[in-house]
Amino acid sequence: MKSKREIVPLILGLLVVCASAGNKQHPLKSKIPYMELKYCDSKIKNTIKELSGDSSLDYSVYPRSIAKNEKKWNCVRAKREEWCSGFWPGILWYDYENTHDSTILHHAEKYTESLKFISECPAYDHDLGFLIYQSFGNGYRLTHNEAYKKVLLRTADTLATLYNPKVGTILSWPRERKPQNWPHNTIMDNMINLELMFFASQNGGNKRLYDMAVSHAEKTMKNNFRPDYTSYHVAVYDTISGQFIKGVTHQGYSDNSMWARGQAWGIYGFTMVYRYTHDKRFLDFTQRITDAYLKRLPKDYIPYWDFDDPSIPNAPRDASATCIVASGLLELSTYLPYQESRKYRNAALKMIKSLSSRKYESGRRNNSFLLHSTGNKPAGYEIDASIIYADYYYIEALTRLRKMNIR
């Protein structure tokens, strides 16, 4: 009798083979995301037990990461300087979407509400989007709670205070202007936070947010990428002339390397921009940057933390990049003609298959979903760890897969 751990990769493998062969439908296709979503649900319940300890949950403290070979979540109290607190409520919203479990709904609401104060503060940096959209945005998507929408619209206006019209992008990191001499800096990760502005502009908020988000995406497309479609983490601009000065790195191996998660944010981000704009330039560009990423992946589809780290194959992996890309490619595949769609969907399935294997799932080792993500290698933290945003994009990818009609 094979264990679940052996069966899941087997089934995912079968699915990939059948999809590649062009089979209309595979009888097992619907089981794959369901089995993994069940795994996620049980891990979430274990995490809630772990966080409760002997008392009740403190809803203002959020799980962030589990260090390599450790068992317990490293938790952080919500504050505007802490960028990861939206992911745990986001995970709970996805779990609620998949299970309809009212206890999970209760926890999702409580953890979401504890972030409201951030929407009432001035912007600390672009991460405002991660904090509020992954929590309140998913909450609004599922409940249509008007109070959530108010928070989203208010936060989008706050995010827009970082927009520099001369440059045409958001200032991602106000705190790095002086120490790094990056007078106006725009990072790849910032692409994700355009969703809050698009959402607001189309749901009763300021219509100018749409133009700001489009301009930001256009400038990022022009200046955060090299001619070979690999990305710079940071684009630096002159605040007076608005001119692009240089592309550099912050979390990657070097200024000229391809930091895996940076490229992943781009793939996911430009797919999302196409969803809101229907502008084919963004769709074409997403394909170019995706191809630059796919062609350099290792066999198991999980990148090393930076594609150009000279210590490869001994460098740490970044499973979080895979989760982000897999989720993005599932969406991208819905916008393309059959052949191209199949190419990106199959790549996403291979990624999910690899993530769902014994090598990458945490299993009994800890209460996260996944191992082997890398947060900030140059700064020396969260290396080869379990990280909350990997889990967030994993459950999002599985949820998207469940809702897709694979042919």
Question: Is 127 an active-site residue?
Answer: yes
Least distance between ligand GLY and beta carbon 272 (Å): 16
Least distance between ligand GLY and beta carbon 184 (Å): 18
Identity of the residue, 83 or 394, whose beta carbon is nearer to ligand GLY in the bound complex: 83
Identity of the residue, 33 or 129, whose beta carbon is nearer to ligand GLY in the bound complex: 129
Identity of the residue, 251 or 366, whose beta carbon is nearer to ligand GLY in the bound complex: 251
Give every CB contact of residue 178 below 8 A, 6+ residues apart in sequence.
Answer: none
Note if the bond before 313 is cis, omega within 30 degrees: yes
Per-residue binding string, ligand GLY, 306-345, x by CB under 6 A, is ----------------------------------------
Chain positions 8 to 67 lying near ligand GLY, rule: CB under 6 A, are: none
Question: Is 391 an active-site residue?
Answer: no
Q: Residue 189, interface with ligand GLY (CB under 6 A)?
A: yes
Residues that bind ligand GLY (rule: CB under 6 A) add up to a total of 4
Q: Residue 125, interface with ligand GLY (CB under 6 A)?
A: no
Q: Residue 377, interface with ligand GLY (CB under 6 A)?
A: no
User: 361 and 302 in contact (C-beta within 8 Å)?
Assistant: no
Q: Which strands form 61-66's sheet, in the order they lie side by side? A: 74-77, 61-66, 386-387
Least distance between ligand GLY and beta carbon 37 (Å): 24
Least distance between ligand GLY and beta carbon 213 (Å): 18
> In which region does residue 316 sit, left (phi positive, over 0), alpha (psi from -120 to 50) or beta (all else)?
beta
Catalytic residue among 41, 95, 125, 127: 127
And the tokens for 280?
């084919």
Least distance between ligand GLY and beta carbon 100 (Å): 31
Catalytic residue among 41, 189, 384, 391: 189
| Dist. CA 333–CA 377, nearest whole Å | 31
Identity of the residue, 97 or 189, whose beta carbon is nearer to ligand GLY in the bound complex: 189
Chain positions 133 to 152 lying near ligand GLY, rule: CB under 6 A, are: none
Identity of the residue, 261 or 350, whose beta carbon is nearer to ligand GLY in the bound complex: 261
Chain positions 81 to 100 lying near ligand GLY, rule: CB under 6 A, are: 83
Identity of the residue, 189 or 361, whose beta carbon is nearer to ligand GLY in the bound complex: 189
Q: Which residue is at the shortest CB distance from ligand GLY?
A: 189
User: 345 and 19 in contact (C-beta within 8 Å)?
Assistant: yes
Least distance between ligand GLY and beta carbon 322 (Å): 13
DSSP 298-367: -TTS--BSBTT-TTTTSSPB-HHHHHHHHHHHHHHGGGS-HHHHHHHHHHHHHHHHHHTSTTTB-TTS-S
Among 116, 184, 216, 261, interactor with ligand GLY by CB under 6 A: 261
Chain positions 241 to 260 lying near ligand GLY, rule: CB under 6 A, are: 251
How many angstroms separate the first and last alpha carbons of the chain?
A: 30
Nearest to 158 by CA among 122, 126, 184, 193: 122
CA 259 → CA 4, 86, 220, 316, distances in Å?
34, 23, 16, 12
Least distance between ligand GLY and beta carbon 36 (Å): 23
R_g of the chain, CA atoms, integer Å: 20
Task: Compute how many other C-beta atoms are within 10 angstroms of the C-beta atom of residue 38.
Answer: 13
Identity of the residue, 116 or 261, whose beta carbon is nearer to ligand GLY in the bound complex: 261
| Dist. CA 23–CA 19, nearest whole Å | 6
| Dist. CA 92–CA 89, nearest whole Å | 5
List residues near ligand GLY by CB under 6 A: 83, 189, 251, 261
Active site residues: 127, 189
